[in-house]
Structure 1
């Protein structure tokens, strides 16, 4: 069952959620993380351990329903035979405890397979239950994500970023400006870094909806000749911006920006998992961006030095 691949992965990214207690939340996160890891390892026995005996898998798009752990495991065996190189990635939007021993997990998952130019995306809702001393998956329901009526509608969550944002840091001023293009189907982000009155770094990013991959994407171009692209995903009130970049000297860089609102007029940005040519780089320092009136800031955005840390 193809869609099962997507649902199985729903937590390669551990994002914030609501829990009954810290220990319970960690336990639910762990069982789901273990399940995703077991899927990617084709570890059938471990997958079986993580389902309840009467587990149910439902595909609401096709109406297909698989009942019972044994039937689900058998379906997975077939998946692994026909799609041996498929990898799964995902994010949790929310964990909500219905009772101390029952948690509902919701989010989305993506499947990447060799030869496919786009990733498949699905939404999921799962029930995770406590049985004696351990947690297991009891139900997974999957469905196709809602299709935005327009590219502009798909970018609605970006509205809180619109405006000018300034950070006084690193001996200078980092300035960002987000604005909608005419028609509202794209958002542009311009940025520059001013030190001692001179602009030492400048670039432009275009953010838009990709209907083929079903995700928000960004394309960045810097005045030093470097360029990159990114995927924007919102979860638990934070933007996770997975970025890849070709530096001006031809080296490849990657990393994930975490953009988090502190208030209507303040947000933080941090670069994590930064690599250049596959070599890990020191963790980026979290910067605080504050909304600025037009007369107090020039147009532009925050970016670090010429090390591949632009989005």
Structure 2
């Protein structure tokens, strides 16, 4: 069918979605108590923190207070002049001035974000150097909390303890369902209507709650033309969101998503039934809860470059009012009661 290749290219952009606003930023650690490495496995009550550990925990407390107050100046003062920070996405800052600039930008973009921590260990490498490891959790005003693993190196200079080095990693203990929670707004029905084609999309959780499943149906001039099933999930090896698609004509594809502030940049590639290929770079922005607008660029179909700059919209279809339910009968045991996908 002559319309198939343009529609495959167009659907490359549909098969991806925008995410939430920008990352909360630098996240060193804090906790209520520290567990001494030397006490691990020891019998009897675990000893409390030593005087030296309490000093480090006091710095963590100061960090938390400054972060939760959005005070970039006070927070930067906790860092050494030559401090180095490497975030989990590869962002790298060296020097207190750059750390302060990054923090100020973080607080401007994520006003009201709060930080909480779980310190797993504090170990003194020398009398003037301490290594702290644990987990940090940043909760924005809107959206899910973000958990990361961290390692912080504290050093004592001229009698004052300062943060000299921060390294972050994604938290592997976060289950796939939580990785996808920021996309739960996709659940429901969506519609795109063109001059001669209509695309309907339904999104739901998989039964195990570890994937979002989207089904696409395409009609061309009022007649069924194509259907696609997509799974969106978390790739723990690549440490990013991915999607996998299979269409009714035997084609298949996948997408790799990278966040850029409040946008998602999605690299998508597909193989058509006859063996030709298609690819595109899609830039997505969720403009409203009921509207997604995106631009598809670098589009190549069967080795030929297509024109760039195509803009499309996907609009949420309002839910149909369901049957009236007696509140007294709608208990957790009722088949009509809301359920967690897990």
Question: TM-score, structure 1 length as denominator?
Answer: 0.50
Which structure dedicates a bigger proportion of its chain to strand?
A: 1
Higher Cα radius of gyration: 2
